[in-house]
């Protein structure tokens, strides 16, 4: 969580310009002093009008013509501070103080220059000297535009409590200053006093609704308090006010990801990468967003780029490993998880990920060992008990598997996965009553699980509970209408009930669906082959494969689109347009069918 110790636009220090007193500079050539005096006034006028470039040129002329007069160095130093050229400013202001020790304008600008350059100890030394020089019976107060730098120098040198005390005093003296409010809020956030920080940021944005950094800090503080919806609103405002800030775009995207809106986060992160193509944070977050959206193939290259720059980044290693497992590349994931474990050997999530990868390559012994190690580190993590139960089930150690799955269900009664797997396990053991009990729990938690209803229907059939079996299977068919399995089981149930015509109709549906599935597989394979040939520039061969795809399955939209693309490449635009029209009609028909 980033809370800035710097402001982006410098509020110039309060310094007083002094006219050159020619009578006090008897050692100087009178004509030079006259020219210097004219340049000084020209620089002053330019500075007042915001023309800092001209002001700098004039003040540089002053110090060349009258190098022994402090006011020229003070004026030039102030302009250099305002333009962010802090090293040059320090040089000029140091010369000024050698000529005129204790000058308040020179000291103030020098303290600010040191702070902005990150030389905080030197800044504090000058600030304290400035305060001592003002002790003439009563300590003078620094103006609010300057005290901010003193406070930030204190915070940067880990003098947090003193910084907060000074910030509180400054806010009390100038309660309407939004920058002071933001500074105090940042200090409270750094010591995790989130409610106090929130109050300061809220007041800062009320005082200045266009203060982008205060909105940013407010949003980050809300994130830390898990007030995600409010955080998204504040960070969206910050991003709108700072459209060229890549880091602000990344912060907004993180809040969107935290809210579960990965899809909206992706274009925000694409903007961040357009602003800063080297941003590792943006690359990592867009990888997470793609992964959270189920687009793991798009996530993988971004994770790889993060790791190319930071090979020992354990979270990136873990998430890349997960993305590879999710895309069926568990063998490639194994060394990544092993590298992550070398960085974080006590992270149960990494042990779990490695165990799942081992499970995918059918290495049950190593999978079980990783899950058990993870459980030692996090005994209350239901996912680890569930994964261990699944591995034991695959190893045919059904009693031990049932024990782990039951524990997972008790640790997280809201997850449908443990009771569903338990229901299948109990069915395999012939414990049909227990199977029904677990499946009903799972389906209550996830009613849209068509496979679950099909399994429950099969168990009821095994119990000869034909009425309940029929109800469960009809529910399964409603949810997964294109699966032949529930129709086959329902046909058997109907036959037992003596409803032979209905049973025959269900068997016919199952046969038709099986043929459709085979046709779609054939079409998909042909279209994929066509795509590969098109990439190689083999357009004629690609057209043949795409034609094979659409002839295998006339309703395969991607086949028609692929054929259209290949035909365009071949210059056959009229035929391509016809395929595009077919794809559009099929898409419209499918959408209409789904709406009903």
pLDDT digits (tens, 9 = 90+) for 464-487: 999 999 999 999 999 988 888 898
pLDDT score of 355 more than 70: yes
CA–CA dist 357, 338 (Å, integer): 11
Pair 422, 390: CB distance under 8 Å: no
Task: Select the more confidently predicted residue: 24 or 250.
Answer: 250
- Return the pLDDT at 19: 42
Q: Which of 245-249, 464-468, 532-536 has the lowest mean pLDDT?
A: 532-536
pLDDT band for position 9 (50/70/90)? very low
Task: Select the more confidently predicted residue: 582 or 88.
Answer: 88
Residue pLDDT, tens place only, 319-346: 999 999 988 899 999 999 999 999 999 9
- Return the pLDDT at 318: 96
- Return the pLDDT at 557: 86
pLDDT band for position 137 (50/70/90)? very low
pLDDT score of 2 more than 70: no
User: 248-251, long-range: CB within 8 Å, 24+ apart, which pairs?
Assistant: 248/212, 248/216, 249/275, 249/282, 250/279, 250/281, 250/282, 250/285, 251/2, 251/216, 251/219, 251/220
Pair 124, 153: CB distance under 8 Å: yes
pLDDT score of 520 more than 80: no
Secondary structure (DSSP) of 468-523: HHHHHHHHHHHHSTT-HHHHHHHHHHHHHTT-HHHHHHHHHHHHHHHHHHHHHHHH
Q: Does domain 514-595 have CATH number 1.25.40.10?
A: yes
Query: Which of left, alpha, beta for 310 (phi over 0: left; psi -120 to 50: alpha)?
Result: beta
CA–CA dist 4, 57 (Å, integer): 32
Secondary structure (DSSP) of 400-438: HHHHHHHHHHHH-TT-SHHHHHHHHHHHHTT-HHHHHHH
- Return the pLDDT at 566: 82
pLDDT score of 12 more than 50: no
* C-alpha distances out from residue 547 to 461, 519, 554, 557, Å: 44, 13, 10, 12
Q: Does domain 1-134+142-158 have CATH number 1.25.40.10?
A: yes
Collapsed DSSP state (helix, strand, coil) of residue 396: coil
Query: Which of left, alpha, beta for 242 (phi over 0: left; psi -120 to 50: alpha)?
Result: beta
Residue pLDDT, tens place only, 157-215: 999 899 999 889 889 988 999 999 999 999 999 889 999 999 999 999 999 999 999 99
State the distance between the two ends of the chain, measured CA to CA, in whole angstroms: 47
CA–CA dist 302, 53 (Å, integer): 43
CA–CA dist 171, 447 (Å, integer): 56
pLDDT score of 434 more than 90: yes
Q: Which of 68-72, 215-219, 577-581 has the lowest mean pLDDT?
A: 577-581
Task: Select the more confidently predicted residue: 195 or 24.
Answer: 195
pLDDT score of 386 more than 60: yes
The CB-side HSE value for 230 (13 A sphere, CA atoms) comes to 12
pLDDT score of 24 more than 80: no
CA–CA dist 180, 200 (Å, integer): 9
pLDDT band for position 595 (50/70/90)? low
Task: Select the more confidently predicted residue: 6 or 390.
Answer: 390
pLDDT band for position 258 (50/70/90)? very high
Task: Select the more confidently predicted residue: 503 or 406.
Answer: 406
- Return the pLDDT at 432: 95
- Return the pLDDT at 375: 97
- Return the pLDDT at 593: 65
Q: Quick one: DSSP state of residue 551? A: H
Collapsed DSSP state (helix, strand, coil) of residue 463: coil
- Return the pLDDT at 578: 85
Nearest to 61 by CA among 50, 75, 51, 49: 75
Query: Which of left, alpha, beta for 571 (phi over 0: left; psi -120 to 50: alpha)?
Result: left
Question: What percentage of the chain carries pLDDT values higher than 90?
Answer: 65
pLDDT band for position 134 (50/70/90)? low
- The shares of helix, strand and coil residues in the chain, as percent rounded to the nearest 5, are 75, 0, 25
- Return the pLDDT at 128: 87
Burial 135-159 (b: 16+ CB within 10 A, else e): eeeeeeebebbbbbbbbbbbbbeeb
* C-alpha distances out from residue 55 to 17, 50, 80, 114, Å: 13, 9, 10, 22
Nearest to 112 by CA among 128, 126, 101: 126
* C-alpha distances out from residue 492 to 290, 477, 482, 595, Å: 44, 15, 18, 31
Collapsed DSSP state (helix, strand, coil) of residue 554: coil
Nearest to 579 by CA among 555, 554, 560: 560
Q: Where in the chain is the domain with CATH 1.25.40.10?
A: 1-134+142-158, 514-595
Kindly report the pTM of this predicted structure. 0.72
**Mean pLDDT for the stretch of residues 442-462:** 93
Q: Name 269's Cβ contacts closer than 8 Å, sequence gap at least 6.
A: 249, 250, 253, 282, 285, 286, 289
Residue pLDDT, tens place only, 28-46: 577 888 898 899 999 999 9
CB atoms closer than 10 angstroms to residue 463: 14
Burial 268-300 (b: 16+ CB within 10 A, else e): bbebbbebbeebbbbbbbbbbbbbbbeebebbb
pLDDT band for position 513 (50/70/90)? confident
pLDDT band for position 5 (50/70/90)? very low
pLDDT score of 353 more than 60: yes
The CB-side HSE value for 497 (13 A sphere, CA atoms) comes to 19
Average pLDDT, rounded, for the chain: 88
Pair 252, 268: CB distance under 8 Å: yes
Residue pLDDT, tens place only, 286-316: 999 999 998 999 999 999 999 999 999 999 9
- Return the pLDDT at 26: 45
């Amino acid at each position: 969580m980033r809370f800035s110790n710097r402001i982006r636009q410098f509020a110039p220090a309060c310094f007083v310009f002094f006219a050159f007193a020619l009578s006090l500079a008897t050692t100087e050539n009178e004509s030079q002093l006259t020219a210097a005096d004219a340049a000084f006034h020209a620089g002053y006028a330019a500075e007042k009008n915001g023309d800092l470039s001209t002001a700098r040129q004039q003040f540089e002329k002053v110090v060349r013509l009258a190098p022994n007069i402090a006011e020229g160095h003070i004026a030039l130093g102030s302009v250099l501070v305002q333009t962010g050229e802090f090293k040059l400013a320090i040089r000029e202001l140091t010369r000024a103080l050698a000529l005129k020790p204790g000058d308040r304008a020179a000291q103030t600008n020098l303290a600010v220059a040191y702070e902005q350059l990150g030389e905080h100890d030197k800044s504090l030394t000058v600030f304290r000297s400035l305060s001592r020089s003002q002790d003439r019976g009563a300590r003078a107060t620094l103006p609010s535009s300057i005290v901010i730098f003193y406070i930030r120098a204190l915070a940067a040198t880990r003098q947090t409590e003193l910084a907060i005390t000074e910030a509180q005093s400054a806010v009390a003296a100038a309660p309407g200053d939004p920058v002071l409010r933001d500074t105090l809020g940042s200090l409270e956030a750094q010591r995790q006093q989130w409610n106090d920080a929130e109050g300061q940021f809220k007041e800062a944005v009320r005082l200045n609704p266009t203060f982008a950094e205060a909105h940013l800090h407010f949003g980050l503080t809300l994130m830390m308090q898990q007030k995600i919806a409010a955080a998204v609103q504040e960070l969206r405002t910050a991003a709108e006010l700072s459209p060229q800030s890549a880091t602000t775009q990344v912060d907004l995207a993180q809040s969107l990801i935290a809210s579960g809106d990965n899809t909206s986060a992706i274009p925000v992160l694409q903007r961040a990468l357009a602003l800063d193509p080297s941003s590792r944070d943006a690359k990592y977050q867009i990888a997470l967003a793609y992964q959270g959206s189920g687009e793991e193939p798009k996530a993988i290259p971004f994770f790889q780029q993060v790791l190319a720059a930071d090979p020992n980044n354990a979270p990136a290693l873990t998430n890349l490993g997960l993305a590879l497992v999710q895309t069926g590349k568990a063998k490639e994931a194994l060394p990544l998880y092993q590298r992550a474990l070398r960085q974080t050997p006590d992270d149960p999530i990494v042990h779990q990920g490695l165990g799942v990868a081992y499970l995918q390559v059918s290495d049950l012994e190593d999978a079980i060992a990783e899950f058990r190690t993870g459980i030692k580190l996090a005994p209350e993590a239901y996912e680890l008990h569930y994964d261990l139960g699944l591995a034991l089930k695959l190893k045919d150690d059904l009693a031990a598997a049932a024990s782990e799955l039951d524990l997972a269900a008790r640790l997280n009664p809201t997850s449908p996965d443990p009771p569903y797997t338990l229901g299948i396990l109990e069915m395999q053991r012939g414990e049909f009553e227990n199977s029904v009990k677990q499946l009903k729990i799972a389906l209550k938690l996830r009613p849209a699980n068509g496979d679950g209803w099909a399994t429950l229907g099969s168990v009821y059939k095994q119990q000869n509970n034909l009425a309940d079996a029929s109800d469960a299977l009809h529910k399964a068919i409603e949810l997964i209408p294109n699966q032949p399995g529930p129709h086959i089981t329902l046909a058997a149930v109907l036959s037992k009930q003596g409803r032979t015509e209905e049973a025959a109709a269900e068997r016919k549906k199952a046969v038709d669906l099986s043929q459709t599935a085979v046709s779609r597989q054939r079409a998909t394979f042909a279209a994929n082959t066509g795509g590969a040939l098109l990439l190689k520039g083999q357009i004629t061969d690609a057209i043949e494969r795409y034609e094979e795809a659409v002839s295998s399955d006339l309703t395969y939209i991607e086949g028609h689109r692929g054929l259209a693309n290949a035909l365009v490449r071949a210059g056959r635009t009229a035929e391509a347009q016809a395929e595009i029209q077919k794809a559009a009609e099929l898409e419209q028909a499918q959408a209409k069918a789904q709406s009903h």
